[in-house]
Structure 1
Amino acid sequence: MSTPERLTHREVREILRSFQDSGWTAMTLELDDLRITAGKEGPPATREPAPAPAAAKPVAAEEKSAPEPEPPVAVDTPAPADRTGCVELRSPAVGAFWVAPSPGEPPFVEPGQTVAAGQQLAIVEVMKLMSPVVAPQAGVVVEVCAGNAELVEYDQLLFLIRPSDE
Structure 2
Amino acid sequence: MKVQEIREIIKLVDQSSIEEFVFESEGSKVEIKKHSGVTYSAAPQIAPVQEPVAAPVQAAPPAPAVAPVVQEAPVQEAPKPAAADQNLHKITSPMVGTFYQSPSPDAEAYVKAGSKVSTDTVVCIVEAMKLFNEIEAEVDGEIVEVLVKDGQLVEYGQPLFLVKPQ
User: What is the aligned residue count?
Assistant: 101
1:105 aligned partner: 107
Matched residue of 2:162: which SS? strand
Per-residue deviation, residues 17-67 of structure 1 (Å, max 9, x unmatched): xxxxxxxxxxxx5327615469xxxxxxx9x8xxxxxxxxxxxxxxxxxxx
Give the C-alpha shift of residue 80 in structure 1: 2.2
Matched residue of 2:83: which SS? coil
**Higher RCO structure (Cα 8 Å, ≥6 apart):** 1
Distance in 2 (CA, whole Å) between partners of 1:32 and 1:113 is 40
1:143 aligned partner: 145
Alignment pair present for 1:163 and 2:143? no
Give the aligned residue type for 1:128.
Answer: K
Question: Structure 1: which 5+ runs fail to align?
Answer: 8-28, 39-45, 49-78
1:80 aligned partner: 81
Identity of matched residues, %: 34
Which 4+ residue blocks in structure 1 deviate beyond 3 angstroms? 35-38
| Structure of greater Rg | 1
Give the C-alpha shift of residue 81 in structure 1: 4.7
* Residue number among 122, 125, 130 corresponding to 1:120 in the alignment: 122
* TM-score normalized by the length of structure 1: 0.54
How big is the alpha-carbon RMSD for the aligned residues of Structure 1 and Structure 2? 2.9
Matched residue of 2:134: which SS? strand
Alignment pair present for 1:96 and 2:98? yes
Distance in 2 (CA, whole Å) between partners of 1:97 and 1:33 is 23
Distance in 1 (CA, whole Å) between partners of 2:165 and 2:108 is 24
Distance in 2 (CA, whole Å) between partners of 1:145 and 1:154 is 14
Indicate the structure with greater strand content: 2
Alignment pair present for 1:30 and 2:10? yes
* TM-score normalized by the length of structure 2: 0.54
Question: Structure 2: which 5+ runs fail to align?
Answer: 22-32, 34-40, 42-79
Distance in 2 (CA, whole Å) between partners of 1:106 and 1:150 is 17
Matched residue of 1:109: which SS? coil
Give the aligned residue type for 2:124.
Answer: A
Distance in 1 (CA, whole Å) between partners of 2:106 and 2:133 is 20
